[in-house]
Structure 1
Amino acid sequence: MTTVRGEGRTLGNRAASATLWGGANMALGRIVQFATTIIVARMIAPEHFGALAVAIVVQTIATNMAELGATAALARGNGDPDRIAPTVFSIALVTSGIMTGAAIALAPALAAAFDDPAATPVIQVLSITILLQGISAVPSTMVWREFLQKPRVVVDVCSLLTVLVLVVPMALDGWGAMALAWSRVGGQVVAMAGYWIITPARYAPGFDRSVAVEILRLGMPLAMANLVVFVTLNIDYLLIGRMLDPAALGLYLLAFNLAGLPSSVITAVIRATAVPTFGRLFQDGTLGALAGRFVAGVSYCAFPISALVIALAYPLIVTAYGDAWAGAGIALATLGVFGATRILVELFADLSVGAGRTVWLFWVQVAWLVTLAPALYFGIQWWGIAGAGVAHAAVACLVVIPLYVKALTTVLRVSAWQLLSGSLPSLLAAALAGVGAWLATHSMGNPFLALAVGALLGTAIYTALTFHRGKRLVAEIRTLLSENRAAPQEPATTPSHITGSAGQP
């Protein structure tokens, strides 16, 4: 039976509550973020988004390497945080400091690699967030581990509102890409402070060699996998920046972010509880039996959204951002396919981490990068920014998903059919809904009308085709959550002290 630290509640109830609040958090966050992007896109030129894209590539790669995957051991929920957390904190603090310094020093060379010297100061400013995330690595992981998504809503929304409050006057004052960079630093400061306030236990840095070996054995393959996957997901920016121009890179960044919006929302909601939940289920020996149902449930929610993004790409871009960004529409249409596959890829990655098989995860990412790089080069050379979307979709469907399925069927002892069959009806219904929406709207001259009609029609088609299946999936999920009970226990006292040091941080 699953033991839940600090609670006598069922794991299912805690996961359900955290998922609900995580969903609300992501919905509010994405609304604010989407509104911010719309506002800023109407104030600055596409090339400024290109400079930000370069800086985000550097920041994202450094951030995900900064704690060497050590927080994974803390997040899985089946180890003693009092023993693990101080060492994790030390690793995160030291490595994030090194990464921050390196990013600032190497910013000119990194910007030159993307053929965008204007990105140098943007990289240097955005690098500050690497250190800030290292300082908050343990508190944010403890919030995740203990399913504290309700207070996290307040922290994340305050962080996003800080970004909005800072970026608008800066953009109006002509700061360009620097407005985007400094506003993100301000938002990260607020998030860091918020996580330290709401964390269920505060820890000071410490170091235990045996613990470090243990957590790095799990974390290093994950950190390397993160490095590879973020290089994979950002190599398109490098190639577009080198092969095309900063304006094309800005258009592509906007299209990529919009295409990834469904996957980022859905995977973030799942990730609010996935790794701790999957880790406990794997420990109980029930993860394999339930994995196919998780895949079916995620597919049911994700596929129709991506299908409508593909079908309504042009009116969506023009309605949201204006005619100046119309060139991003063709990239959005091809990237929409990748957006749908990425949702499954992220779920498969979380299943791998929950099962503790991070080495598998690393080699899948390596294969992804090796096949994607040449596909992107030829795709961009032949079809411009639309070709990048084609390359992403082809490699995800033909290489990445099959490799993940192979890995998971081995680890979880299930067949590929058991893992994927539940998602096929949703895929077919979403495709029909997307086709119906496109046929009804592709000749309309008013983008806003086309978007409204297409979204309503596509939603109606998908709902009609999957109504009974949707009800059944909801019932199954409720049953799974209620049946997955924790062992009866006395509630443990959650430590509020600072391990290894006196006083408050």
Structure 2
Amino acid sequence: MTDIAMPPEFSPEGDSSALKRRSAMGAVITMGGQGSKFVLQFGSQVALARLLLPTDFGLLAMVGPLVAAALLMTDLGLSAATIQRPTINQTELSSLFWLNVLIGFCLAGLAVAAAPLAAIFYATPAVTPVMMAMSAALLLSSLAAQHLALLNRRMQFGAIAMIEVGALVAGVIVGVGGALAGFGYWSLVAMQITNGLATLILACVFSRWRPSRPGISRDALHLLRFGGTVTGYNLLGYLITNLGNILIGARFGAGPLGIYDRAYKLMFQPLWQMTAPAARVAVPLLSRLAGDDAGYRSAYLAMLGGVLTLTTPGILCAIVFAKPVIVVLLGERWLDVVPTFAWLGGAALTLQLRQAASWLFVSQGRAKEQLKWGGLGSAAIIIGYLIGIFWGPKGIAMSAAISSALVQIPMMWWAVTRSGPVTRADAIQLAIPIAFATAITGGLLALAAREPIWSSLPMLAVAGILAYALFIGALALFPNGRAQLSKAGGIVRRLAKR
């Protein structure tokens, strides 16, 4: 192919109003997909927890951090560069694809070579074959990265939702089937690889894009600077997410690590599903709204307010009712998960704030600032981990919650609102009613939790409904809170008419 401008369909068309409508529809489509994913992931996690042992999950959790770091390096922020750029041509996009593939092959080879060393580090021989097998995920991810980035750039969120749900269905069938057949931790490995393979196949089908012949143009190399900076920040997120696993696995072994891993997945996987619609549309929408300060500010605050209203009551419910949640969903043998699960809920309350600050940094082209301030905040969390490990998995979860709330999040928000369309005053006006509603709801739920009636799935559902009712009622006590609820209701009504 020749070096020509991308066809118009490679970027979404329209003014700010059209882009907002498209992003809103994208959020609804993504939410529908995430609902399906939530049912599949949650159901499969509960089923696998009853079919497999903590040591099975612990073994995968030992390999997981190493593979996750390699996956970040495989992408090297090149997907973010594709999404964020105002224009991109075939030569640049094809070059990014081949860069992804080259890096993926190199890292897969490195993972295979490093597998015996990882087994020595964890003193667990089974790590070697598992890590070698998981290297296939690196190849699959590198091949799919630019196809998925292109769909995201085009704001084709329906296609992305179908890819994710289809790949998850394939993975769950293989994983649960393997567990039922007695394959133990290999069923978890097969589940991950199947998901990656299905993602690649479906991404190629839906994107309808093919790279040019192998080659990397000099014009595309400047995108590595932006992508590399984004990757640096993502690696900090990786450390925050996975360093706890590494420390627990190295110090206490697969059993305690399996307990921590289940607590982490049970808390954060539903949260990721709930925030995915906004996360999916945020950067492409805000990047297209650059130059329209009022439109940018309005879109961002609406997304963040919606995310906080959607996620905070559920997290509070999980924290307060941690014991019945674990017993009902995972069973009595997982009771040791309870304190770790509750403290991870504290960390979850701040996770969406970190992610939302990243939307501002990336969409405004301020990746270097994000790396700087995110790095300082991450250093505080890492120091907390090194202290908390002396108290085991619970200590890791506790340190994550405290250091994130007191250091990382305030630092990142102070930095990101120093310039740009979204000011500190905007952030404070949004945060005050959310903070008070959180405190009121948490206190009332704690009073309700004293009654010994919550040890069944229907009563946990009642607790969840109660949490959302209390939060919305408390939010409505404040003028800014009522404005947030009104905006959310208006969006829902407009979408219902479409």
TM-score by length of 1: 0.88
Distance 2:366 2:304 in 1: 18
Percent of aligned pairs with the same amino acid: 24
Pair 1:447–1:325, CA change in 2 (3 A)? same
Aligned to 1:501: none
Aligned to 1:306: 315
Distance 2:422 2:22 in 1: 27
Q: Structure 2: which 5+ residue stretches go unaligned?
A: 1-7
Tell me whether 1:241 sits opposite 2:249 in the alignment. yes
Aligned to 1:27: 35
Tell me whether 1:272 sits opposite 2:280 in the alignment. yes
Taking CA–CA contacts closer than 8 Å with sequence separation of 6 or more, which of the two structures ends up with the larger relative contact order? 1
Match of 2:126, SS state, is helix
Contact 1:47–1:250 (8 Å) recurs in 2: yes
Tell me whether 1:53 sits opposite 2:61 in the alignment. yes
- Aligned residue pairs: how many? 480
2:416 aligns with one of 375, 386, 408: 408
Report deviation, 1:206. Answer: 4.7
Pair 1:205–1:267, CA change in 2 (3 A)? farther
1:473 aligns with one of 458, 481, 484: 484
1:188 aligns with one of 179, 189, 196: 196
Contact 2:93–2:146 (8 Å) recurs in 1: yes
String of CA shifts for 1:458-497, please: whole Å, max 9, x gaps.
23322322358676325436889999xxxxxxxxxxxxxx
Tell me whether 1:434 sits opposite 2:456 in the alignment. no
Aligned to 2:362: 353
Match of 2:257, SS state, is helix
Distance 2:213 2:481 in 1: 47
1:331 aligns with one of 319, 329, 340: 340
Aligned to 1:70: 78
Contact 1:254–1:328 (8 Å) recurs in 2: yes
Q: Which amino acid aligns with 2:382?
A: A
1:381 aligns with one of 378, 382, 390: 390
1:457 aligns with one of 463, 466, 487: 466
Pair 1:380–1:212, CA change in 2 (3 A)? same
Q: Structure 1: which 5+ residue stretches go unaligned?
A: 484-505
Distance 1:454 1:290 in 2: 32
Q: Which amino acid aligns with 1:473?
A: Q
Tell me whether 1:260 sits opposite 2:268 in the alignment. yes
Pair 1:112–1:432, CA change in 2 (3 A)? farther
* Bigger mean CA deviation after superposition, 276-285 or 462-471: 462-471
Q: Which amino acid aligns with 1:186?
A: T
Contact 1:436–1:457 (8 Å) recurs in 2: no
Report deviation, 1:352. Answer: 1.0
String of CA shifts for 1:168-214, please: whole Å, max 9, x gaps.
22112322211101111012111110010011533235545443332
Aligned to 2:4: none
Distance 1:302 1:127 in 2: 34
Pair 1:205–1:339, CA change in 2 (3 A)? farther
Distance 1:388 1:327 in 2: 14
Tell me whether 1:89 sits opposite 2:62 in the alignment. no
Aligned to 1:488: none
Q: Which amino acid aligns with 1:261?
A: Q
Structure 1 vs Structure 2 CA RMSD: 2.5
Distance 1:224 1:481 in 2: 37
Match of 2:222, SS state, is helix
* Bigger mean CA deviation after superposition, 190-199 or 101-110: 101-110
Match of 2:306, SS state, is helix
Distance 1:408 1:120 in 2: 42
Distance 2:261 2:358 in 1: 24
String of CA shifts for 1:355-388, please: whole Å, max 9, x gaps.
1111122223322332222211222313x22211
Aligned to 1:489: none
Tell me whether 1:366 sits opposite 2:375 in the alignment. yes
Match of 1:106, SS state, is helix
Match of 1:410, SS state, is coil
Match of 2:51, SS state, is coil
Q: Which amino acid aligns with 1:238?
A: I
String of CA shifts for 1:134-157, please: whole Å, max 9, x gaps.
101111111111111112222211
Contact 1:75–1:145 (8 Å) recurs in 2: yes
Aligned to 1:215: 223
Aligned to 1:394: 402
Q: Which amino acid aligns with 2:266?
A: L
